[in-house]
Amino acid sequence: MTDERSRNSEPSSIEDELLTSALRTPALSQEGLERVRAAVEREWRATVPRGAVAGKRRTALSSRLRWFAMAAAAVVAAVGVTSWVARLPVQTAPLGSISRSDEGALSVLSARFPPRNLTQGGELRVGDRVTAQGPALVALARGGTLRISAGSEVTVISPSQISLGRGLIYLDIPSGTGAGIPLRVITNAGAVEHVGTEFEVMSDDQTVRVRVREGRIRFVGRTATVVADAGTELLASPGKSIVERPIDTYGSDWLWTAALAPDYEIEGSSLISFLRWVSRELGRPLNFADANARQIADRTILHGSVRHQAPIDAMSNVLATTSLTYEIRGDAIWVRSSTSTAL
C-alpha cells in the first residue's frame, strides 16, 4: 500500500489536491495493528475447524509459556478424548471414497477426527485436508472421479467445493451428475467451475494452470471470468491477465491421469460403451472406419474383467476377443471390422 502511494501522488487539479489532503489519514501504529491482528486472528482460529489451520505462524511465546500451553493442551486433549469416546463425532458429508492409492499415500487432517491415513475404501469428507504423498483416485459421491497427483494438498470445503492449495488434480465429471450443482475448485488465483467435463488443475502459491480436456469450464479469476472449451489451457496469477492457449487433449502430458483411470466393469456392458470410455480416458475421439464395425460395437455385450489394466491395454485385450481391430491415427482412435478395407 505504501509503495503504491508514490505512484498516485501527483495531484493534477484542485479536486485532486482537496481529496488527497482530506482523505489521507495517519495510519494506526504498527503496535496497534499488531494488537488488532492478534485479537482477530485468535477469534478466527476459534471459528475454523480444530487442526484445520494450515501454515501456522510462529508466535513469540516464551519457552515457559510454550511448556505451559503444551501442558494445558494435554489436559484439554485428555478431556477431549474422554468426551470423544463417550460421544462419537457426527459424520460430515462425504466428497467421495478412495478407489485407488498406495498404503500411506494420503494423510488427512480433519476437524472432527484425529489425523489419519486414507486407504482404499476410506471416505474423504467435508473438513478434511488431504496431503498426497502418492497418486490417488477418488470416486466422487456426486458421480465422476477426482485424481490426485503426488505432492498435492486438497481441502474439502463442501460436497461441491474443494480447495487446491498446491499440486495437480484431474476431475472427470460426466454431464448430468451432481444435481446440476457445479463442482468448484478454489485456488489461490481464482476458482474453476466445471460445466460437465474433464479438466486438470495445477496450482501453487501464485499461479494456476487449468487444462480442459473435454466439455467446458468457467474460470473466475480476480481480473476476469473466462470460459474455456476442450483443448484449451489457461494460466492465471493474481493481478495478471489470464493467458490462454490451445493444447492437445492426448499425449504424454495426460499419461498420469490414464494411470489413475478407474476400473471399467465390462461384465454386461456394450462394446460401444466401453470404447467410449476408452476414448474419454485417452482424450482421443472415437471413429469407426466402416458401418459394420459400428454395428458390431453396438450389439456386442462384454463379459469378464479388465480390472487393473490401463485403458489402452484394456482396449487391446477386449478387441482381441472380437472381430474388430483398432489403430491410433492422428489424434483419433479408429475401429474397423475385418470386412473393412484399409483405413
Partner 1 sequence: MVGVASNLAPLTNECEGCHGVYEADRALVARMRAGDQRAFDEFFKDSAPRLVAFIARRTALDPATLEDIVQSALIKAVRHLASYRGEAALFTWLTEICRNELADEHRKAKRRPTHLSLDEPDAVHRWGEMLRAPQGQEPVPQLQAATERAEIMKVLESLPANYALALEAKYGDGLSVETIALQLGLTEIAAQSMLARAREAFRQRWQKRSAT
Bridge pairing between strands 136-140 and 145-148: antiparallel
Site track for partner 1 across 53-92, x = CB under 8 A: xxxxx-----------------------------------
Query: Residue 137 carries which side chain, given as an amino acid letter?
Result: L
181 in contact with partner 1 (CB under 8 A): no
The H-assigned helical ranges of 268-310 are 271-282, 291-299
Residue 168 to residue 135: CA distance in whole angstroms: 10
Per-residue contact track with partner 1, 5 to 44, x per CB under 8 A?
x-xxx---x-xx-xxxxxxxxxxxx--xx-xxx-xxx-xx
Q: From CA 2, how far away is CA 196, in angstroms rounded?
A: 44
Cα(184)–Cα(159) distance, integer angstroms:
10
Q: How many residues bind partner 1 (CB under 8 A)?
A: 70
Name the residue with cell 489457461: 234
What is d(CA 270, CA 7) in angstroms, rounded to the nearest whole number? Answer: 66
Pattern 183-202, partner 1, x by CB under 8 A: ---xxx-xx-----------
Q: Do 190 and 218 contact (CB within 8 A), yes or no?
A: no
One residue of 142, 166, 209, 218 binding partner 1 per CB under 8 A: 218
Q: How far is the CB of 10 from partner 1 (least distance, A)?
A: 12
Q: Smallest distance, Å, CB 149 to partner 1?
A: 20
Q: What would the x/- binding string for partner 1 be over residues 154 to 173, using CB under 8 A?
A: -x-x---x-x-x--------
49: which 3 cell numbers?
Answer: 475447524
Task: Give 230's DSSP letter.
Answer: T
Residues of this chain that interact with partner 1 (CB under 8 A) are 1-2, 4-5, 7-9, 13, 15-16, 18-29, 32-33, 35-37, 39-41, 43-44, 47-49, 52-57, 129, 155, 157, 161, 163, 165, 186-188, 190-191, 205, 218, 220-229, 231-232, 234, 239, 244, 246
